[in-house]
Amino acid sequence: MTRSQSPIASAEVERLAAQRVAADEQRITGSRRTNVSLGQAWRSFWRHPSPWMLGTCVLGSILARALVGGGTWWELLVPVGLVAALPVVEWVVHVGILHWRPRHVGPVTVDPLLARKHRAHHADPRAIPLVFIPWQVELWLFPSYVVIAWLAMPTTSSALTLLVAVYAIMSGYEWTHYLLHSDYRPRSRWYRAVWRNHRLHHYKSEHYWFTVTTAGTADRLFGTYPDPATVETSPTVRALHSRDGL
């Protein structure tokens, strides 16, 4: 809200934006949406491989950290720093990797699996298996974090602290992203804002609102958090890069 906007005017903009998102979602998804409880969503979440893979990494890193013991006070800054950086990391990964445009290098097409899966995710935001990080990527990504932690941190205990934080944050990301695409309806003010933000990205315009676990953070920083009332519904929101002929 700008200084010139009154609270009433801001509320009206929010109402109109919510109506547009709801109308776009109804047009795309039809009558498939139903309400579910948080408990039902939680049980459904565990029917997919990514939560189990991440959960194994979280428990394994916690156990290893407990067995090593020791450590220093500054290790507490590791999870704090990662949480603070998360909105920016989400934005950079979303823009730079997930929205990657296929590129041709001679006869080779550079089109990573993550980008291909994300295009499919935009084509059908209601397809829950496409919500998760592909398990094929997790098979090499999670062990890679172990190598990075050992190279980046000065001690074994701090490396394990980093791993615990990384796996826990990724688990939180997966749960939040799943919940946003599930039939669970937002209750808290924070979740309503995140829910609305992500729906604007999927049903209004793929060029804005890139953060997932927060709303109005990194998007404000990088200029991708416009007033929804000023943004036209993108014709390529379900077909990323289609105007490029790809």
Residue 30 has pLDDT above 60, yes or no: no
**Average pLDDT value for residue range 70-74:** 93
Which of residues 85 and 28 earns the better pLDDT score? 85
Dihedral sign (CA 117, 122, 127, 129): positive
Q: Residues 6 or more apart from 70 whose CB is under 8 A from it? A: 157
* Range of weakest confidence among 30-44, 72-86, 107-121, 129-143: 30-44
Residue 7 has pLDDT above 70, yes or no: no
Which of residues 109 and 12 earns the better pLDDT score? 109
Phi, psi of 204 (to 5 degrees): -110, -60
User: What confidence score (pLDDT) does residue 137 get?
Assistant: 96
pLDDT digits (tens, 9 = 90+) for 102-134: 999 989 999 999 999 999 999 999 999 999 999
> Per this entry, what is the length of the chain?
246
Three-state DSSP state, 153? coil
Listed as own residue / partner, the contacts of 102-108 with beta carbons closer than 8 Å and 24 or more positions apart are 102/241, 102/246
**Average pLDDT value for residue range 136-158:** 96
User: What confidence score (pLDDT) does residue 3 get?
Assistant: 44
pTM of the model: 0.85
Residue 242 binned pLDDT confidence (cut-offs 50, 70, 90): confident
Q: How is residue 103 written in tokens?
A: 């590129």
Dihedral sign (CA 60, 52, 54, 112): positive
User: What confidence score (pLDDT) does residue 118 get?
Assistant: 97
User: What confidence score (pLDDT) does residue 193 get?
Assistant: 95
* Range of weakest confidence among 14-28, 110-124, 135-149: 14-28
Mean pLDDT of all residues in the chain? 90
Domain map of the chain by residue range? 49-244
**Average pLDDT value for residue range 185-195:** 92
* Range of weakest confidence among 31-45, 60-74, 224-238: 31-45
